[in-house]
Homo-oligomer: A and B are copies of this chain.
Amino acid sequence: MQNRQIIIDTLPTGTLKTDHYRMMETDMPQPAEGEVLLRVILMSIDAANRSWMKGATYRTAVNAGDPMPTYAICEVVESHSSSLTKGEIVAAEATWSDYITAPARTCQKLPKVAQLSHLMSVYGIAGKTAFHGLISIGEPMPGETVLVSAAAGSVGGYVGQIAKAMGCRVVGIAGGSEKCKWVQEEFGFDACIDYRAPKLSKALAQACPDGVDIYFDNVGGKILESSLNFMNERGRVVCCGAISQYDTDDVMGPRNLPGIVVVKRLKMQGFIVMDFAHNDAKCLRAMKHWVANGQIKVAEDIVEGLENAPQALIGLLNGDNKGKRMVRVSLDPS
């Protein structure tokens, strides 16, 4: 039996292209004692994947010659550990591959749900990132205005829907009028601004007549700079990502930082989803409640086939996706 792996051929210096990757056929990996052989089912495609290619972050840098790392949902197909058995479904730090091996202790058993992809979207990395960032850093209160960028992306839609459920006014920022319309109709945002249209500041002023109490920032750059100007005193900026800065070497620092943070007594705080793992049970209970009563709609954007992973990531960096993007490498066991 053969395995396929997608390798980083060269690290990108400017924009990521499919040429930066190459597909490699290898022998089937053999799990050592304490390890499991995993069949990759779904791979998470995240803007952060691109940032990993720019040097060490919260994880070690990835380099040319490495298989591309990813967070994935997998099935145990062979176990050399007493803690996992064949057929179990786990989350693992994987690579863009058909099969991988991993130490059993690093795999996280997943609960049974009606649809496996939900463990990556609403009940997984996207939903948890939205919930933890908004609730623990943003601390929303009813009547506040929440602004969220990349509103049609993996995380943004959940941020807005959670904020609506908490009684906030919600304004999105997305690319293109079609996406903006979708965000309002599908997720019930009060307004959504097309950042590609001219006069972003004027649009922000109109959509946020009472200013912004929480800005959930997925993009950084110029949109962050403009949004900061509309923050209310003691506003909170949830720093979740900086997608505008990852796929380029031409990075732009918001010129109103740090002055506006002082003057308006803002809090800007960064996080990654694992920082709030101690609150995951709370998160899942709340998300299930909101899904059950119709306050949260699930949005998924699934690309079929391992071979399409490079284009799936490149497209995400260009804002092609609507909802949580993932790549389906193989079928659910169910």
Give the most central of A242, A261, A262, A263: most B CB within 10 Å.
A262
CA distance A241 to B264 in the complex (A): 12
With both chains docked as a complex, state the minimum distance between the C-beta of A134 and any C-beta of chain B, in angstroms.
15
**Segment touching B, from A80-88, A95-103, A269-277:** A269-277
> Could you tell me if B272 and A269 are in contact, using CB atoms closer than 8 angstroms?
no
> Could you tell me if A261 and B268 are in contact, using CB atoms closer than 8 angstroms?
yes
CA distance A58 to B264 in the complex (A): 7
> Which residues from 94 to 150 on chain A have a C-beta closer than 8 Å to any C-beta of chain B?
none
Give the most central of A233, A241, A257, A267: most B CB within 10 Å.
A257
25 CB contacts below 8 A, A to B, read A51-B263, A58-B264, A58-B265, A239-B258, A240-B262, A242-B258, A251-B255, A251-B256, A251-B259, A252-B253, A253-B253, A253-B254, A253-B256, A258-B268, A258-B270, A260-B270, A261-B270, A262-B270, A262-B272, A264-B270, A265-B275, A266-B269, A267-B267, A267-B268, A268-B268
Interface residues of A, Cβ cutoff 8 Å to B = 51, 57-58, 217, 220, 224-225, 233, 237, 239-242, 245, 251-272, 275
